[in-house]
Structure 1
């Protein structure tokens, strides 16, 4: 009964939870979609951010009350509260952003004024294509070079994670403007078609096979601490979003283990290979 994954509060609960949790109403929920470029998924209305939702993400909404919708994200099952204005009716999306971020342009011309940005992983609906741009509605355009079609993935999760080098660390962040350790791993996995939960404890429990001690490490191996995770860039270098550097950074694994053991999350809890 992980509260992060149970769509229930004191007033409403998902219909399939009837008889398992107490609530005033049991509802099927309504299909909705994130319409903001990014939106915070909160533990309680106006409370702490657990993670972010990105444009195009599907959610099931169970309640809309006092400006907040109580939702469950389709991508990883995470439950929380989101600004009601950040979601809308669900629609079919055609493309997703496969670069760290991209600009939205007012015309199909890279010299035209930009009107906003979208992060890696956002999904959009392309209405038409003009040369190297796609129109996403309301006279807004995205460069085709930054897009892949829905269903088309990337091949190397470490290369995906490398795109985020230098991105500011943000607790609960999932975007190219701010990301945390488990958000980085999730973004890299999902882009390569690998199902991945959101938080590092869930990732440690569900991803890969644990390696015996003294196994030589390889590119893509995962190193876990209690509350932290990083990816191996090669046999010696760790890539991770971390609060010590306050960015996505690389450093020798031996140095990271020494520092983290002394000051932050204790000893390594697992090393795993997908």
Structure 2
């Protein structure tokens, strides 16, 4: 590919930009082979792109991402800068966000844990002390004092990241105290990802969700693997293509195996049952794999598209 552009004719005014936004110099030429970039995990728009993509595509402006964190209990990541736009993912308290552009009340960038691109309300982002712990219970209560009878200040979802210090069986955080049983140091991982998923049984199904207030199929798998110390991409097709080892169709299912369907994923609890967040039950449930495939059989000749095994 060979592209020439004069940046002076391509720019347009904007309300605000992330730090270090820079126009390309006049007469800049991009040469070399092009590659197809997945817009879900590569931050680019017609007017601006992440500076890390400068060698891969042309944009009238590039910006260096400004690291931020989610400072609210949770926030939905959206496809467009509107509360009415489709949900694509979710950040919970303390998770990172790479801010690339800010316009009005909305920030655009990528989630730090998986590079997923989208918009969040700018008010949901800010700076905080470097996290030391992660919430490992489905929900953790933040008490006003180190006492389980104290008033509740807020609740934090599984996966939330906190800066904490131990104090009398509690963890002291910026606005209260969390019981030590509800969190663990960041370097401590769960021995069984499936057990993490099982702790979320009954969680409502929510498209784009990754927390205890609502979770989707790939969000459940991503969160369970994360707490077990394994990074996973956001969407089920990415997980199908990137995670673990592909199994033969006649392989005997084992606990922790990932089973993929058209647009869906679940995790085996044992040789016969699957745990998955799904819109059929509108919840995270365990049910026989045979029941799931039977529901899909009238719609798909091959309800199961892949089986993958992860060694953690």
| TM class by smaller structure | over 0.9
Change (3 A) 1:247 1:206: same
Q: Distance in 1 between matches of 2:230 and 2:197?
A: 14
Q: 2:166 aligns with which of 129, 134, 141?
A: 129
Which residues of 2 match residues 46-195 of structure 1 at below 5 A? 46=82, 47-89=85-127, 91-126=129-164, 128-138=165-175, 140-195=176-231
Name structure 1 gaps, 5 residues minimum. none
How far apart in 2 are the matches of 1:263 and 1:114? 47
Distance 2:285 2:190 in 1: 21
Q: Aligned residue pairs: how many?
A: 272
* TM-align CA RMSD: 1.5
What are the superposed Cα offsets for residues 144-192 of structure 1, whole Å, 9 maximum, x if unpaired? 1111011111110110000000111111100011001100000011111
In 2, Cα distance between the equivalents of 1:243 and 1:144? 34
- Distance, in Å, in 1 between the alignment partners of 2:53 and 2:181 is 44
1:248 corresponds to which residue? 284
TM-score by length of 1: 0.95
Is contact 2:130–2:163 with CA below 8 Å preserved after alignment?
yes
- Offset, 1:104: 1.1
Pair member with larger Rg: 2
Please state how far the C-alpha of 1:20 moved relative to its aligned partner: 3.2
Are 1:228 and 1:265, in contact at CA under 8 Å, matched by a contact in 2? no
Q: Which runs of 5+ in 2 are unaligned?
A: 1-36
User: Per the alignment, in what secondary structure is the counterpart of residue 262 of structure 1?
Assistant: coil
1:80 and 1:18, CA in 2 relative to 1: closer, same or farther beyond 3 A?
same
Change in CA separation of 1:231 and 1:5 when aligned onto 2, cut-off 3 Å: same
TM-fit CA distance, 1:223: 0.6
**Distance (whole Å) between structure 1 residues aligned to residue 160 and residue 251 of structure 2:** 37
The answer on whether the counterparts of 2:142 and 2:177 sit within 8 Å (CA) in structure 1 is: yes
* Structure 1 position 95, deviation (Å): 0.8
- Tell me how far apart the structure 1 counterparts of residues 190 and 116 of structure 2 sit (CA, whole Å): 24
TM-score (structure 2 length as normaliser): 0.84
In the TM superposition, residue 18 of structure 1 has moved relative to its aligned partner by 2.2
Match among 59, 62, 75 for residue 39 of structure 1: 75
Q: Which moved more, 1:229-238 or 1:57-66?
A: 57-66
Distance in 2, Cα, partners of 1:120 & 1:145: 12
Q: Distance in 1 between matches of 2:101 and 2:95?
A: 18
Contact 1:33 1:91 in 2 (8 A): no
Contact 2:92–2:160, Cα closer than 8 Å, also in 1:
yes
